[in-house]
Amino acid sequence: MPTFERLEGAVHCDGLPLAELAERFGTPLYVYSAESIITRYREVDDAFRGYPHRLHYALKANSTLGIARLVRSLGAAADANSGGEIDVALRAGFTPPEIVFTGVGKTATELHRAIDLGLRSINAESEGEIERIDAIAAARGTTARVAVRVNPDIDARSHPHISTGLKTNKFGVAISDAREMCLRMRGRRGLRIVGLHSHVGSQITQLEPLRRAAEALVTLARELKDAGITIEHLDIGGGLGISYEGQPVPTAAEYANSVLPIVRESGLDLILEPGRFLVGQAGVLVARVVDIKPQAGGKLFVIVDAGMTELMRPMLYGAYHRIEHVQSVSRPDAICDVVGPICETTDTLGKDRRLAQPEVGDLMAVFDAGAYGAVMASNYNRRPMPAEVLVQNGEATVIRRRQTIDDLVALES
């Protein structure tokens, strides 16, 4: 059964009508399907079966505790991108040896905490950062496990704002410098180089950049071995894209078939950091139409009660999200700009969408909003963050209650 299907004209999430959930929990509302996350997790895990690997779920995609706990229950470990995500990972039940810590610009406080916890690895971004890790760990009489994030100068062919693997991007140590740098770091008291890491971007829909990035890591691992530096793992990051517009995208099996033959040669443990692929399709944002305005040329503005404060992707990257009526209606089609209520012209969820003419009070579903949706929500215009609901085994559970104005001002004096 597809996660979100239309039954007798009404979109359901794993058997529950979205309209009923919107009535119960209000709008705007995020609804997630546990079943979808479970299926996607197994797809990736099965694809890599037979080779020692671990999926470190990229919390940045969706770190609501209920989602993190669900992914953990499936056997995942975690990829945290900040001190906050490390804490969320711990609260979700991940143990320190199950957490890798990635991220440009780790603060001294974050590094102290990561070293004290003894994470599986700190994915270091620069020589300066590695030196700081060494100094902190040595002063504490301990040894930090470090993986070097390498920038392989590979074009992920994704949106420029989510491409991270070109030498002009801020991420990682240039591949051309990495070997020499590792040699310089050899023998440092506070360090143990346990891995190599790369993540060349997100929403990648061609396998070639991912394969080339894996190749770059394997080659570097071999060079290090020849120089007497033996590591434990290769971390090939996340990045596998999903189909927002119905376009064909690689399956997890195709991804595995493309990178595994390369990685196998190294014999090293493999870490993957999927985010979007696991949770992107599992979420829908439900919004209610609050106003309709005619535009020149017969188009309509359909103003809904969700916007860039709930889902930033269209405004950040010009990302496309399918938008449909939650309940089918038989009205003539209209070309609509589905916009939010925020006081910014960019606040547009979908442009030029053909929809059966919406009316005030209708519910609209914005699909594929499970990744980089709720996590990027903001309080701009003093809007409380939306509620999030997880549907599992025919039951809907609030995994994040709607914020109140009291929550919003609680930190202020």
Ligand X SMILES: Cc1ncc(COP(=O)(O)O)c(C=O)c1O
- Where does this chain bind ligand X (CB under 6 A)? 58, 60-61, 79, 102, 199, 202, 237-240, 273-277, 371
How many angstroms separate the Cα of 352 from the Cα of each of 246, 299, 337, 349, 361? Answer: 17, 8, 5, 10, 20
Rounded to an integer, what distance in angstroms lies between the CA atom of residue 130 and that of residue 338?
47
Give yes or no for a contact between 21 and 13, defined as CB atoms under 8 angstroms apart.
yes
Query: Per the structure block, which two tokens stand in for 98?
Result: 């199950």
Q: Least separation, in Å, of the C-beta of 255 and ligand X?
A: 11
Q: Least separation, in Å, of the C-beta of 14 and ligand X?
A: 23
Which residues pair with residue 35 across a beta bridge?
none
Helix (H, G, I), strand (E, B) or coil at 208: helix
Q: Least separation, in Å, of the C-beta of 402 and ligand X?
A: 26
Query: Per the structure block, which two tokens stand in for 167?
Result: 């030498």
Calculate the dihedral angle through the C-alpha atoms of 318, 322, 325, 331, rounding to the nearest 10 degrees.
90
Q: Which is nearer to ligand X, 40 or 60 (CB)?
A: 60
Query: Per the structure block, which two tokens stand in for 360?
Result: 């005030």
Comparing CA positions, the residue from 23, 13, 15 lying closest to residue 363 is: 23
Rounded to an integer, what distance in angstroms lies between the CA atom of residue 239 and that of residue 206?
10
Q: Least separation, in Å, of the C-beta of 102 and ligand X?
A: 4
Rounded to an integer, what distance in angstroms lies between the CA atom of residue 359 and that of residue 291?
8
Q: Which is nearer to ligand X, 248 or 394 (CB)?
A: 248
Q: Where are the alpha helices (DSSP H) in 227-336?
A: 252-264, 276-279, 313-317
Calculate the dihedral angle through the C-alpha atoms of 354, 357, 359, 364, rounding to the nearest 10 degrees.
-30
Q: Which is nearer to ligand X, 79 or 324 (CB)?
A: 79
Q: Which is nearer to ligand X, 28 or 274 (CB)?
A: 274
Active site residues: 343
Q: Where are the alpha helices (DSSP H) in 96-206?
A: 108-117, 127-139, 175-185
Q: Least separation, in Å, of the C-beta of 370 and ligand X?
A: 11
Q: Least separation, in Å, of the C-beta of 407 and ligand X?
A: 28
Q: Which is nearer to ligand X, 102 or 266 (CB)?
A: 102
Q: Where are the alpha helices (DSSP H) in 202-357?
A: 207-226, 252-264, 276-279, 313-317
Q: Least separation, in Å, of the C-beta of 363 and ligand X?
A: 28
What is the C-alpha R_g of the chain?
23
The phi, psi pair for 286, rounded to 5°, reads: -105, 130
Q: Which is nearer to ligand X, 169 or 327 (CB)?
A: 169
Q: Which is nearer to ligand X, 115 or 150 (CB)?
A: 150
Helix (H, G, I), strand (E, B) or coil at 342: coil
Give yes or no for a contact between 178 and 220, defined as CB atoms under 8 angstroms apart.
yes
How many angstroms separate the Cα of 281 from the Cα of each of 31, 32, 140, 243? Answer: 11, 9, 44, 9
Q: Least separation, in Å, of the C-beta of 60 and ligand X?
A: 6
Give the single-character DSSP code of 203: S
> First vs last Cα of the chain: how many Å apart?
51
Q: Which is nearer to ligand X, 60 or 211 (CB)?
A: 60
